[in-house]
Structure 1
Amino acid sequence: MGKNSRQGHKAKRKAAEATQRRRAGGAPGVDDPMRLFGAPRSPSQRQFAEQIIDQAIHARHLEEAAELERCRALLTAGAGGTAGTQVVNRALLASLLREVEHAWRRGWQPAELVRVARREYTTRHGRLMVDAIAAQMRSYSTATVDRRLQSQLAALDAQVWWEHDDHYVSVWGDRQGLDRAGVIATMIEVLHLLATLPPIEPVGPMPGTAMSAAVTPPADLDQRRLDRVRALLAKAESTDFPEEADAFTAKAQELMARHRIDHALLVATTGERDRPATRRVSIDNPYEAPKTLLLQVVAEANSCRAVWMKRFGFTTIVGFPADLESTELLFTSLLVQATRAMTQAKPSTDKYGRNTTRSFRQSFLTAYASRIGERLSAATEGVDREMTASAGAAQLLPVLAARDDAVRDAFEKQFPELTRHATAINNREGWASGRAAADQASLHGRQTVAHE
C-alpha cells in the first residue's frame, strides 16, 4: 500500500498544480458568473465551465468549504439561461468521461470503479459511475473490448438510457430525486474520486485495445478439467454429510494438484512462455478482515501471493493463471462453508446480557481462516511429496522453485512496501467454534506448498 499511497499523493499534487497553472493563466475570477458564462468577449464558455469544475475538484480535495460552495453555486446557476446550463452540463459529462478513461489507463476496471464509488460515498454515486462508464464505452467497438470487461458491463447493466447528453444532468436528477444543486454536488464528488484514485496493476487490456492472443484464456486452464472441478465443489457445498463432501473435494483436490504439476513440466520441456498474472477479488462487509485472511491463506497454499487493499475492498493476488483460478475456486467454496457454519452457530450473551453476535462472528471467521491455513499447510506436504515422487524430484523441484521465484519477484515489484495488521480476537467462544468448523470444512482445491 505504501507505493500506491505515494503514487496517489503524487497524482493529487499534479492535479493541484495543474489547477493552479490554469488560475495563473489570466482567466476571469469566479465571482462573476456573467464573465464566466455569458460575456460576449469570453473566448469560450466551455473552457471557463471546465475551469470552475477543476477548481471545485481542487477545493474538494483541500477541504476548502467556502471555495467549493462558490464553485458549485456557479455551476448550478449556469449563468446565461438555458444555454448556460447546457454548457455546464456538457462540461460536467465530458469531465466524467475523461476521468473514467484516465482510470482505465491507471489499471482500474468498470466493476472496481463502481464498487469504490459506493464504498467511498453512496449507492447513488455508484449509479452515476455506471452511467459515466456506459457513456464512455460508446467510444469503442465491441470487438476491441475484452470479454471480461464486457461481462462486467453486463453485470452492471451499463447502458446509455438518456436521449441526449445535454439533458443528462437534468434527467439523472429527476431519476434520483435530486435538485440541480444536489446533482452538481454528487458529480463533483465522483470527479474528485476519479481524479485521486492511485494507479494499480492492470489485470487485462483497457477498453479499446485490439484483441490479441494475450487476452485469450491461458492454455493451462483446461476448461473441461475446471468444469469437473466446479461440479465436484458444487456437490461438496450442497451436501449435509461431511463424508460425501470430503470425497467430492478430495477428487477436486487431486485434479487440481495433478494439473499444476503436469503444466509446470510441460512448460519446462517445451519452452512455452508462462508468466505470473494478477487478479483482484472483491471482499465485502461485514467481517472484511477475517474474510481477507481466509483468502490470503488459500492463496499461499496455491503458490500465490495476496495483499488486501482495505480502502477499495479488494485483495490483489499474484500467481500463475491456473493457480489463481484454483485460489478463487477454493476461497469461494470455503467462504460458503464458513458462512453456513457461522450462521448456524448461536453465540450467547455476555455476563451483562449484551448481544455478542458481532464479536462472536468476527472471532469465528478469524479462527476459521487460521485453522484452514494450518490444514492446508499440513495437507500440502503429503500431496507434494506424492506428486514429486511420481514425477521425479530431480526434474520437478527446480521447475516449481523457479515458478515460486517468478511469483515472488512479480509480487514484490507491484508491492515493494506493505503494512501488516493483526485482527483482534475478543470472543473465545467464537474462536473455538470457528476452529471446530474449520476442522470439519472440506478443502476444495489444489494443494501446493506455500512460500512466504
Structure 2
Amino acid sequence: MSEAMLSKVRKLLAKAEDPACTPEESAAFTAKATELIARYGVDRALLAARDPASDPVTDRIVDIRAPYARDKAGLLAAVADPLRCRCVRRRHGDGFAMHLFGFASDLDRVDLLWTSLLVQAAHGLAGARVPPGEHPAAFRRSWLAGFAQVVGSRVRAAEETAVAESGAPAMALVLVDRSDRVQHRLAETYPTVRTAPRRRLAGGGFASGAAAGHRADLGGRAGVPGPGGPALPR
C-alpha cells in the first residue's frame, strides 16, 4: 500500500480510537478506513490491467505459531478470500505454514488487515468472560471462529461496494481474470491440494466473537506484530 494511503488510514484509525469519540463517530472513521483499503484494491487492479508488471502474481509463506495456530490460520483465510487471495495450510512444528497466493497489492492488504486483527482478537479475548463450567480453550476457539466469520463478511462487503462504485465497465472481467490467474498459480504449485473438512467446535463463544468482529477496525495499524502475532490468552 502506498505511504500516502497508509498515512490516511492511520490517521482515521487514530481518530476512531480516541476516547473522546462517540461510538457513532468511531464507527464512521473505521468505515472510512475500510473503504480506502477497498478502493486501493480496485485502483491497483485497474492499473495492473494496463500494466501487468506493476502488480505481479506472487506468493508468500506466513508462519503461524501456537497457541491457537489453527484459529489464527482461519482468520487469515477469512481475510484472504474476499481480497482474492488463496492459501494452502501446511503443518509446521507446533503451528502452520500458510502459503498465500495473490497479486502483490492484494497480499499486502491481507497482511495489513490480518496483523491488525490479530491484535484486536487478542484484546477481545482478554476481555471475554468464559462461562462457568466451560473449558476456556473451547470457548476461545469458538470465539475466534465467530470473530473470523464476521470480519470476513465485512471485508467482502467493503470489496463489493468499492467495485460497484468504481464505475469501470470492465471491472468484473478484470477481477475474474485476476482470480483465475491466482488460482492457476496455486494449482501449479499444489496440483493435488484438497479442501479441508468443515471444522466442528463445541465452545459457546461464537456469538461473543461475532460481536467483537462487528466492532473490529478493518483499516490496519502501524507497529503491529509480525506473522506470529500477539500472544492470545491460553
- Aligned pair count reads 216
Q: 1:345 to 1:338 in 2, by over 3 A?
A: same
Q: In the superposition, relative to structure 1, how do residues 237 and 331 fare at CA in structure 2: closer, same or farther (>3 Å)?
A: farther
The answer on 1:338 being equivalent to 2:121 is yes
Question: What is the deviation of 1:286?
Answer: 1.2
Distance 1:314 1:343, change over 3 A: same
* Larger RCO (CA under 8 A, 6+ residues apart): 2
Q: Provide the residue aligned with 1:371 in structure 2.
A: 150
- Deviation by residue 1:407-431 (Cα, 9 ceiling, x = unmatched): 1111111222234143331122x12
Match of 1:381 among 160, 167, 172: 160
Letter in 1 for 2:45: A
Superposed, 1:300-449 pairs within 5 Å as 300-312=81-93, 313-350=96-133, 356-387=135-166, 390=167, 392-393=168-169, 395-419=170-194, 420-428=196-204, 430-444=205-219
Mark the CA change 1:319 to 1:425 in structure 2 (over 3 Å): closer, same or farther.
same
Contact 1:334 1:444 (C-alpha < 8 Å) held by counterparts? no
Deviates more, 1:309-318 or 1:363-372: 309-318
C-alpha deviations, 1:355-381, integer Å up to 9, x for none?
A: 621111111111211222233333433
Instruction: Map 1:38-57 onto structure 2 (within 5 A).
Output: none
Flag structure 2 segments of 5+ consecutive residues without an equivalent.
221-234
Question: Is the contact between residue 290 and residue 423 of structure 1 (CA under 8 Å) also seen in structure 2?
Answer: no
Aligned to 2:30: 249
Q: Over residues 268-323 of structure 1, what are the superposed CA-to-partner deviations in whole Å (9 max), with x where a residue is unaligned? A: 33464642111222222111112111110100111111122222532111111111
The equivalent residue for 1:290 is 71
**TM-score normalised per structure 2:** 0.80
Matches within 5 A, 1:30-429: 221-233=1-13, 236=16, 242-270=23-51, 272=53, 274-312=55-93, 313-350=96-133, 356-387=135-166, 390=167, 392-393=168-169, 395-419=170-194, 420-428=196-204
Q: Deviations over 1:17-36 (max 9, x none)?
A: xxxxxxxxxxxxxxxxxxxx
Matched letter for residue 436 of structure 1: A
For residues 130 and 210 of structure 2, the distance between their equivalents in structure 1, rounded to whole angstroms, comes to 15
Q: Distance in 2 between matches of 1:427 and 1:441?
A: 21
* One-letter amino acid matched to 1:372: V
Matched position secondary structure for 1:444? coil
Q: Matched residues in 2 for 1:308 and 1:230: separation?
A: 31
Aligned to 2:225: none
CA 1:234–1:328 in structure 2 vs 1: closer, same or farther (change >3 Å)? farther
Does the residue aligned with 1:374 lie in a helix, a strand or coil? helix
SS of alignment partner, residue 310 of structure 1 = strand
User: d(CA) in 2 for partners of 1:271 and 1:412?
Assistant: 21
Identity %: 38
Deviation at 1:257, TM superposition (A): 2.3
CA contact (8 A) 1:237 1:337 kept: no
Query: Residue 291 of structure 1 aligns to which amino acid in structure 2?
Result: K
Contact 2:30/2:219 (8 A) holds in 1: yes
Letter of the 1:374 partner, please give it. S
* Higher share of residues assigned helix: 1
The answer to whether the Cα contact below 8 Å between 2:83 and 2:159 also exists between their aligned partners in 1 is no
Q: Which has the larger radius of gyration?
A: 1
Contact 1:282 1:315 in 2 (8 A): yes
Counterpart residue type for residue 386 of structure 1: E
CA distance in 2: counterparts of 1:273 and 1:403, whole angstroms? 13
Secondary structure at 1:263's aligned position in 2? helix
Give, in angstroms, the shift of residue 333 of structure 1.
1.5
Seen in structure 2, the aligned counterparts of structure 1 residues 306 and 266 have a Cα distance that, compared at 3 Å, is same
Task: Tell me if the contact between 1:309 and 1:315 (Cα under 8 Å) persists in the aligned partners.
Answer: yes
Greater strand proportion: 2
